[in-house]
A and B are shown apart, each in its own frame.
Chain A
């Protein structure tokens, strides 16, 4: 055999990954082989692969169970680390960890996005001294992720388990896309939970994709297949620049989808009646440009990327259809991360406000709604990208503050004619101020008295009164909102702001 033939043989063997039976097992679960995943992910295959021969003296560990390299997505070079679950269940040995560290360091040097295609059982206990505790041990992966955060986009596609310490890889990414049925995250497996704390629970219930994308919020996007996960990640990246120094690329502008109902018809006059905010969003963004994040989690607040006139914007919108659009600890948390994501990568923010305030009651106080709400305010306040706040309907109490109200330096706070800004709604206010008086009145006189006081209150918080006081910068016809936003975002592009001088704030986490 010549040198070249020998090399070719070695390459062919390594490219095959683990044993055939493991490939078969994965296929039964609807899982693709790691190299097929990468084929789908990149525009035209991987351009560079390093440490392909890692651990090649051991035939049973091709590439040491992870593929690392660089390829293009939408024409942009990106770094990738992808576990191979046909090799010892994608577990990490010393070289696996070193490969991951090196590709992260490459992403840092080149300032290009990095994607983590995770499908791994965790650490190889047999190799723990070499891969767990040291300076180039697994902990360093997270240290690198934390350093990369906000510098370049970090995306996690979760195809299988992400167990124990490994579960922190998704946690430190900007976004986690999970394949329903196969993806899972947990610190201790169900077997361990039963042994150590006596809990009997299924994997799906404790750490499944559905649970994480709807209850814990550790997952962001739930998809049905690996192909869908890959296509979501490619689309998601199209809204982002390669790193924090650049601006997102513009796309060709598209018109809005056509509708039967106008925005005016969409919004019920009764401030307390629900409507679907998604319908309004569709009427101001380019057709089919909404890339929703955390669709299943804290649905009372909608967060997602979109394009207006071809340019990326991040939308934070109250959803009156879910929980009345009231803000909860989870929605505050959802907003905080999304706002940070957009601010990190120079994506302007659009707040669509229809909020009765933050939830009250024992349950949410015990869940720490005050500190979660504070976190929402802090991240929004610190964001230095262009910020536009649109008061669609009501903006009551701290809800106004959390949604980039006038005090938080939005570039403008504009209102639709249906807007109402107040400490609280008319019903609650009259009740708070006149409770004793109402109680003293004979029952038949109460409704008339309440109505009179509510009307007085409504006059007092009239949107034109607030316009007259220059609390809001403009009142806009609903059907002209898109044009208004297009013009304003284009003008605010040159905004250049340093929030304040310090090392960093102390977060109300």
Chain B
């Protein structure tokens, strides 16, 4: 199981996967918007998305868990 975490503070701009979806290493899970930049947050390993813990528009802090991948 891996926790996908926010690499920096920002708001959730787009969620690019759904629970149950199979993802590959480095595939974008969500795209944050911070400092006016698009910040893609990718999976660290191959797996299946178990849970998305945020909604579009949410503020996340650095280190907050965004999704869980199995």
Q: Give A contacts to B, CB under 8 Å.
A: 272-274, 320-326, 328, 356-357, 359-361, 363, 425, 427-428
CA distance A274 to B38 in the complex (A): 7
Subset of 23 A-B contacts with CB under 8 Å: A272-B36, A272-B37, A274-B38, A274-B39, A274-B40, A320-B37, A322-B7, A323-B7, A323-B34, A324-B8, A324-B38, A325-B37, A326-B8, A328-B8, A356-B36, A357-B35, A359-B35, A361-B9, A363-B9, A363-B61, A363-B62, A425-B36, A427-B36
Instruction: Select from chain A the residue with minimum beta-carbon distance to B63.
Output: A363
Q: Provide the main secondary structure of the chain B interface.
A: loop
Q: Which residues of A contact B36 (CB under 8 A)?
A: 272, 356, 425, 427-428
CA distance A11 to B50 in the complex (A): 63
Q: Which residues of B contact A274 (CB under 8 A)?
A: 37-40
Q: Which residues of A contact B9 (CB under 8 A)?
A: 361, 363
Q: Of B39, B61, B62, which is within 8 A of A324 by CB?
A: B39
Interface range on chain B (Cβ under 8 Å from partner): 10 to 19
- Chain A: minimal CB distance from B3 (Å): 16
| Among all A-B residue pairs, the 7 with the closest Cβ atoms | A324-B37, A356-B35, A326-B35, A323-B8, A324-B39, A427-B36, A425-B36
CA distance A360 to B36 in the complex (A): 12
Instruction: Select from chain A the residue with minimum beta-carbon distance to B40.
Output: A274
Q: Which positions 4-53 of chain B face chain A at CB distance < 8 Å?
A: 7-9, 34-40
A359 touches B37 (CB 8 A): no
CA distance A299 to B43 in the complex (A): 16
- Chain A: minimal CB distance from B2 (Å): 15
Instruction: Select from chain A the residue with minimum beta-carbon distance to B32.
Output: A324
CA distance A325 to B34 in the complex (A): 11
B8 touches A273 (CB 8 A): no
CA distance A231 to B38 in the complex (A): 38
- Chain A: minimal CB distance from B63 (Å): 9
- Chain A: minimal CB distance from B56 (Å): 17
CA distance A321 to B39 in the complex (A): 7
Q: Which residues of B contact A273 (CB under 8 A)?
A: 38
Q: Which residues of A contact B8 (CB under 8 A)?
A: 323-324, 326, 328, 359
CA distance A211 to B54 in the complex (A): 28
Q: Which residues of A contact B61 (CB under 8 A)?
A: 363
CA distance A427 to B38 in the complex (A): 13
- Chain A: minimal CB distance from B45 (Å): 15
Most buried by A among B7, B34, B36, B40: B36
A323 touches B38 (CB 8 A): no
Instruction: Select from chain A the residue with minimum beta-carbon distance to B8.
Output: A323
Instruction: Select from chain B the residue with minimum beta-carbon distance to A362.
Output: B9
Q: Which residues of B contact A272 (CB under 8 A)?
A: 36-38
CA distance A360 to B62 in the complex (A): 12
Q: Which residues of B contact A321 (CB under 8 A)?
A: 40
Most buried by A among B35, B37, B61: B35
- Chain A: minimal CB distance from B67 (Å): 18
- Chain A: minimal CB distance from B33 (Å): 8
CA distance A361 to B34 in the complex (A): 11
Q: Which residues of B contact A425 (CB under 8 A)?
A: 36
CA distance A272 to B10 in the complex (A): 14
Q: Which residues of A contact B40 (CB under 8 A)?
A: 274, 321
Given A324-B35, A325-B37, list of 18 further CB < 8 A pairs? A272-B36, A272-B38, A274-B39, A274-B40, A320-B37, A321-B40, A323-B7, A324-B8, A324-B37, A324-B38, A324-B39, A326-B34, A326-B35, A328-B8, A359-B8, A360-B35, A361-B9, A425-B36
